[in-house]
Amino acid sequence: MATPKTQRTGTDLGAFLEGLPAARRERARRLADVFAAATGEQAVLWGSIVGYGTTTTASGGRTHEWPAVGFAVRGAKLALYGLRGTPDAEELVARLGPHETGVSCVYLRGLDDVDVDVLTELVRRGHARAAV
């Protein structure tokens, strides 16, 4: 069985952020502040994903650890993970501001038009769900 690509890297968040272009770095710092405040966790790098907390998923008869919630800076978009698995998540996502959704992700182009209180609540609920 193949080893999952997304694993903890041990990279320091500050070093990771410093390696980003200035505009992306600022957005990532703002997101890191929101995620840390909402979860009470310190960031852990999982490849290029900045994760908070852990959850276990099962696939192919094996279990794998994955960030409970997290984000990645993907080119012009910010990919947010673990926010859509709670009962009221879609209602909150609709109030978030300009976004796109994937199968399990929420994509943002920036943070200026995003309702930070709604984002914080989505992160809090996603993290709490994964901790169960």
Number of domains in the chain: 1
Q: What is the DSSP string of 78-102?
A: EEEES-S-STTHHHHHHHS-S-EE-
Alpha-carbon torsion (8, 34, 31, 79), positive or negative: positive
In a domain, 84, yes or no: yes
Give me the CATH number covering residue 60: 3.90.1150.200
Our CA angle for 82, 91, 69, nearest 5°, is 10
- Residue 101 and residue 25: Cα distance in Å, rounded? 22
Q: Which domain holds residue 121?
A: 13-130
Condensed to tens digits (0 to 9), the pLDDT of residues 1-20 reads: 455 566 667 788 999 999 99
In a domain, 83, yes or no: yes
pLDDT, mean of residues 56-67? 81
For position 103, what pLDDT does the model report? 85
